[in-house]
Amino acid sequence: MNIGNIIFKLREDRGWTQEQTAGLLGISRAALSHYEKNRREPDSETLSKFADLFNVSVDYLVGRTAIPHMNLDEPVREFVDQLELSEEEILHKFDLTIDGVKLSPEEARNFIAFVRAARNMK
């Protein structure tokens, strides 16, 4: 399912009109119609508004998960936002994987070094 279909279904499940939903989101009814018909995709700010309005995650809206209510609590979200992957403690505490295979500490450090080098090349 794509974003438009998901938005449409969430709105219909609540029995809301496009006019009501657009008003709650602070967008035009025409814009909502374009989103629902997959003529346009919402920008990140509007996507967040949809997620908040329907009490679902952005991952659910974009089809990355079938679990609609997988939202992080505010303290958890703050922690994750400030998480620094390169901290040794984090590398040992969490299993970082690629293709289902756990990265060794050396591989994780190499990965971090690669990302930093790629950023510096921009």
Instruction: Report residue 120 CA to chain centroid gap.
Output: 26
3-state SS class at 111: helix
User: CA 86 to CA 15: how far, in whole Å?
Assistant: 47
Instruction: Report pLDDT digits (tens) over 25-65.
Output: 999 999 999 999 999 999 999 999 999 999 898 888 988 77
Looking at domain 3-61, does it have CATH number 1.10.260.40? yes
The structure's pTM equals 0.58
Domain boundaries, the chain: 3-61, 83-120
